[in-house]
């Protein structure tokens, strides 16, 4: 364990002893060889952090305000509190929870990437089999090949209130299953024409679509609305790992549209996960 992680380890120790509290000496014993050297600047920093996040009644805030350094209490001032029980603050506990959730999300993303890579390999194998199959069965294959067709989609006019209610109801279920953190504030306009043997053909990536002037006013607990017109322009942004750490997974919806191959109306949505190899998390909902 690196010395930079002693803060997380201390928070975990405090959470394990949340009711009874911990002393600074207990923390040093728990950290063992990873504890900061006694009397060092590292210990001065760690001590002040500890008493900021683990409060005890006898250590008054007035002492901190009147500290000669203006920022930190001296080691000599704090020594008399080394064996006093201190209790983890609510803010420190919340910081630990957010750290654990972030680590779990990153581990989940790594697993998803492995699954995606395996899926790509299996797809390549399947395509290779399909390519060579006609050559091996050319003498007996009398089935006609699918003809390429042109498919068109066209955005339809809808009642905005009904559309927002539809999106909100879908979001509740999707958010629970996918663990998304944010919604892009404008829906995409899905108007395209495609020549394909698939029915219906795959739509284009929503990120590259033009976005509507409509802005979502949906409010769900802990779901952020990303209101940034250039959000998907990576030119002046950090790498995708950093974007994932800042925002996590999100979602883009399209406006309702109709297709030339069906009389039904649909809404597309795409899950944006920065750590995936591409997006590809397309889903199509029937809009009723």
Beta bridge partners of 201: none
User: Which range has the worst mean pLDDT, 31-45, 139-153, 158-172, 204-218?
Assistant: 139-153
Nearest alpha carbon to residue 155 among 216, 91, 97, 209: 209
Q: Rounded to an integer, what distance in angstroms lies between the CA atom of residue 219 and that of residue 171? A: 10
pLDDT at 28: 93
Which of the pair, 121 or 242, is modelled with greater confidence?
121
Cβ atoms of 186 and 138 closer than 8 Å: no
Band of residue 62 on the pLDDT scale cut at 50, 70, 90: very low
pLDDT at 1: 43
pTM above 0.85, yes or no: no
- Asked whether the predicted pLDDT for residue 244 surpasses 70, the reply is no
Name, of 64-78, 244-258, 264-278, the range with top average pLDDT: 244-258
Band of residue 278 on the pLDDT scale cut at 50, 70, 90: very low
Cβ atoms of 25 and 82 closer than 8 Å: yes
Cβ atoms of 25 and 79 closer than 8 Å: no
Cβ atoms of 256 and 163 closer than 8 Å: yes
Give the single-character DSSP code of 195.
E
Residue whose entry in the numeric block shows the structure tokens 């005890």: 56
pLDDT at 31: 92
Which of the pair, 237 or 157, is modelled with greater confidence?
157
Q: What are the pLDDT digits (tens) for 80-115? A: 889 989 889 888 888 888 888 888 888 877 777 787
- What is the residue extent of each domain of the chain? 3-88, 147-286
Q: What are the pLDDT digits (tens) for 112-136? A: 778 778 878 877 777 777 776 666 6
Q: What angle do CA 157, 159, 165 make, to 5 degrees?
A: 125
Band of residue 285 on the pLDDT scale cut at 50, 70, 90: confident
Angle, to 10 degrees, between the axis of helix 90-136 and the axis of helix 6-16? 110
Cβ atoms of 282 and 260 closer than 8 Å: no
- Asked whether the predicted pLDDT for residue 181 surpasses 90, the reply is no
pLDDT at 105: 84
**Average of per-residue pLDDT across 63-86:** 74
Cβ atoms of 268 and 286 closer than 8 Å: no
Average per-residue pLDDT for the chain: 78
């Amino acid at each position: 364990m690196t010395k930079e992680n002693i803060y997380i380890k201390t928070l975990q120790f405090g959470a394990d002893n949340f009711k009874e509290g911990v002393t600074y000496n207990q923390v040093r014993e728990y950290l063992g060889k990873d504890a900061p050297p006694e009397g060092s600047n590292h210990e001065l920093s760690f001590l002040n952090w500890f008493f900021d996040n683990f409060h005890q009644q006898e250590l008054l805030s007035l002492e901190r305000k009147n500290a000669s350094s203006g920022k930190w209490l001296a080691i000599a001032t704090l020594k008399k509190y080394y064996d006093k029980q201190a209790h983890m603050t609510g803010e420190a506990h919340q910081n630990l929870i957010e750290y654990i959730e972030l680590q779990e999300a990153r581990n989940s993303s790594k697993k998803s990437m492995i699954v995606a890579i395996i899926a790509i390999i299996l797809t390549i194998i399947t395509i290779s089999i399909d390519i060579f199959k006609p050559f091996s069965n050319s003498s007996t294959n009398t089935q006609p090949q699918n003809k390429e067709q042109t498919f068109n989609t066209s955005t339809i006019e809808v009642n905005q209130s009904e559309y927002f209610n539809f999106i909100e109801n879908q979001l509740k279920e999707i958010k629970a299953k996918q663990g998304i953190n944010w919604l892009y504030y404008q829906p995409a306009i899905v108007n395209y024409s495609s020549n394909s043997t698939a029915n219906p053909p795959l739509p284009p990536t929503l990120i590259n679509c033009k976005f509507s002037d409509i802005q979502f006013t949906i409010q769900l607990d802990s779901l952020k609305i990303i209101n940034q017109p250039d959000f998907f322009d990576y030119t002046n942004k950090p790498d995708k790992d950093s974007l994932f750490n800042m925002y996590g997974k999100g979602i883009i919806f399209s406006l309702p549209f109709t297709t030339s191959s069906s009389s039904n109306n649909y809404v597309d949505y795409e899950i944006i996960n920065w750590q995936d190899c591409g997006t590809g998390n397309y889903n199509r909902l029937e809009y009723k």
